[in-house]
């Protein structure tokens, strides 16, 4: 094979490499994704199913209480001075139970949670005392605020007999897991079941240890990966019954422990939690990298709890108004037996300054008080999350009730908590790195090799062709001139005979 043949072969091979590089750029991701998606599908007997059923992670619940340091002065008209105490940490164990697969490509389950106090990551013990609002009393006062005067006086007399006060002191353990309350005990006896508290004990996590939040029915990804782990039914319902419109009652998104693969920065994902009383939208915030895995941080949009005038879509959550809650707080009393409970981000982060200015001791910070979830975009797997919420109680001034006559209308912060996962075992990290990073590295290497080498061969081929053409155009013309002269001499009828050199006489 001559030089020209080698040049053609090199050019053809370079072109072939370029075509393979283009095909890799177009088809590599869909091919790899199809393989990953098959591994993600929830089906009995697979490694992914076991991870999903019994997550090999250690979530932590951290509680922060607002200790009231000037209750007497507050009742006399001063701002409440709050001192945050915490965290009081609880190691969690999650396990999905009562699992059943269904023919429509869904699986139903309940998530059982156990809590174990962890002294090593807490500021104190569960015996620490917290001075806080008497929430059963405040709730009772709120419930009769529009009732006839006679009923208000009856409640006032009952509270006097019980010697109930607006503020109480309890241990962390009592506030978490429950303490007996005489007012709740009496209310349970005299009120109809639909209006009375289900227990004579009060605690923020009373009856939660070892319990479940309800029955979820989610898609396994078998028939449509875009619906992977999205909720189809919750407690056999597609919708809640608390809000004004079907759209706001819609149960959408996932339970927050996983998301569909293929997340982009333009995606809006939803997280549903029974205690939130709604599905919460999450939008892209910024890029993150954890454990060597790149991801996107998603957080609720700033206007998710905005006033109706700023976000008209929130009108459907205004059940008892107008006036409506908003400006960074969300009224969940409709799903909390009409208890005057409103949630916000901790320390009134992103809330109207009026809430923050009504109290002393809160300092909002985005890194410490925002709710977020970090998602690996290719797999949809969370690589970190913190669900942060603050519990606030709306105080109501009812002059007829002696125990509450010095209360005034204010949104009173009681506590905030963060519940999430920030650490993963090495086995999970390795799988996340393999699923997230290896395809990117492999694709980049292949594209560099195919496109780079192919381009280099094509360039070299073109240079060779141009060089040869240049060589012929220059050197080829000079040779032809020589050739056209020679035949004239050769074909002359009288050949030139060389003459002898002229003799020179010797001296």
Quick one: tokens of 84?
């945050």
pTM greater than 0.75 (yes/no): yes
- Write down the pLDDT at residue 433: 77
Q: What angle do CA 217, 218, 222 make, to 5 degrees?
A: 130
Residue 345, SS3 per DSSP: coil
- Write down the pLDDT at residue 337: 82
Rounded to an integer, what distance in angstroms lies between the CA atom of residue 210 and that of residue 115?
8
Cβ atoms of 11 and 458 within 8 Å: the answer is yes
Average pLDDT of adjacent 10-residue blocks, the chain of 507 residues: 63 64 60 77 92 93 98 95 98 96 96 97 98 94 90 91 94 97 82 68 93 95 94 96 95 94 95 92 96 94 95 92 90 90 97 96 96 94 95 93 91 97 84 70 60 60 65 55 46 48 47
Q: Where are the domains of the chain?
A: 57-424
* Number of neighbours of residue 41 by Cβ within 10 angstroms: 16
Evaluate the CA torsion angle 238, 242, 248, 252 in order and state its sign.
Answer: negative
Nearest residue to 168 (alpha-carbon basis) of 393, 337, 388, 332: 393
DSSP class of 119 = G
**Cis peptide, bond prior to residue 124, ω within 30 of zero:** no
Number of H helices, E strands in the chain: 12, 17
**Count of residues for the chain?**
507
* Long-range contacts (CB closer than 8 Å, 24 or more residues apart) made by 1-4: 4/468
Nearest residue to 271 (alpha-carbon basis) of 419, 487, 75, 149: 419
Distance of CA 214 to the CA centre of its chain: 22
Cβ atoms of 269 and 282 within 8 Å: the answer is yes
Q: Please list, in sequence order, all residues whose beta carbon lies within 8 angstroms of the beta carbon of residue 296, skipping any fewer than 6 positions away.
A: 263, 265, 284, 285, 286, 287, 288, 374, 375, 377
Buried b / exposed e over 9-32, threshold 16 CB at 10 Å, is ebbeebeebbebbeebeeebeeeb
Nearest residue to 449 (alpha-carbon basis) of 15, 21, 19: 21
Rg of the chain (C-alpha set): 38
How are beta strands 106-117 and 216-219 bridged, if at all?
Answer: antiparallel
Backbone angles phi, psi at 54, to 5 degrees: -135, 80
- Write down the pLDDT at residue 484: 46
- Write down the pLDDT at residue 468: 65
Nearest residue to 116 (alpha-carbon basis) of 94, 93, 95: 93
């Amino acid at each position: 094979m001559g030089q020209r043949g080698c040049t053609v072969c090199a050019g053809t091979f370079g072109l072939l490499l370029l075509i393979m590089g283009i095909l890799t750029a177009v088809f590599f991701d869909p091919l790899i994704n199809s393989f990953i998606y098959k591994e993600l599908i929830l089906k009995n007997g697979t490694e992914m199913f076991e991870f999903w059923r019994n997550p090999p992670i250690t979530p932590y619940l951290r509680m922060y209480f607002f200790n009231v340091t000037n209750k007497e002065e507050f009742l006399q008209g001063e701002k409440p001075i709050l001192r945050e105490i915490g965290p009081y940490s609880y190691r969690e164990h999650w396990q999905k139970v009562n699992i059943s697969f269904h023919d429509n490509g869904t699986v139903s389950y309940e998530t059982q949670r156990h809590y174990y106090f962890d002294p090593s990551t807490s500021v104190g013990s569960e015996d620490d005392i917290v001075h806080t609002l008497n929430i059963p009393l405040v709730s009772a006062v709120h419930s009769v605020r529009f009732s006839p005067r006679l009923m208000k006086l009856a409640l006032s007399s009952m509270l006097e007999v019980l010697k109930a006060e607006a503020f109480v002191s309890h241990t962390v353990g009592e506030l978490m897991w429950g303490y007996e309350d005489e007012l709740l005990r009496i209310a349970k006896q005299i009120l109809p079941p639909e209006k009375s508290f289900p227990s004579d004990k009060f605690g923020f996590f009373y009856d939660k240890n070892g319990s479940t939040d309800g029955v979820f029915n989610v898609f396994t990804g078998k028939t449509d990966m875009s619906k992977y782990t999205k909720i189809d039914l919750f407690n056999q319902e597609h919708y809640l019954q608390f809000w004004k419109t079907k759209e706001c009652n819609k149960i959408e998104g996932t339970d927050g422990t996983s998301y569909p693969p293929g997340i982009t920065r333009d995606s809006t994902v939803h997280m549903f939690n029974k205690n939130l009383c709604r599905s919460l939208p999450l939008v892209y915030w910024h890029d993150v990298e954890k454990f060597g895995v790149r991801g996107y941080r998603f957080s609720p949009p700033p206007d998710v709890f905005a006033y109706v005038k700023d976000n008209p879509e929130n009108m459907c959550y205004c059940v008892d108004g107008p006036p409506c809650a908003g400006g960074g707080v969300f009224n969940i009393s409709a799903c909390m037996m009409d208890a005057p409970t409103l949630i916000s981000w901790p320390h009134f982060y992103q809330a109207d300054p009026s809430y923050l200015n009504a109290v002393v001791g809160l300092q909002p910070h985005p890194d410490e008080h925002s709710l977020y979830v970090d998602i690996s975009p290719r797999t949809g797997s969370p690589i970190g999350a913190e669900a942060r919420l603050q519990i606030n109680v709306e105080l109501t001034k009812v002059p007829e009730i002696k125990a509450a006559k010095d209360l005034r209308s204010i949104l009173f912060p009681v506590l905030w908590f963060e519940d999430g996962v920030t650490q993963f075992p090495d086995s999970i990290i390795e799988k996340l790195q393999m699923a997230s990073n290896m395809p990117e590295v492999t694709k980049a290497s292949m594209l560099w090799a195919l496109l780079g080498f192919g381009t280099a061969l094509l360039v070299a081929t073109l240079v060779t062709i141009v060089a040869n053409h240049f060589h012929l155009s220059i050197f080829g013309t000079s040779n032809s001139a020589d050739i056209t002269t020679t035949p004239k001499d050769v074909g002359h009828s009288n050949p030139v005979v060389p003459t002898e050199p002229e003799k020179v006489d010797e001296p």
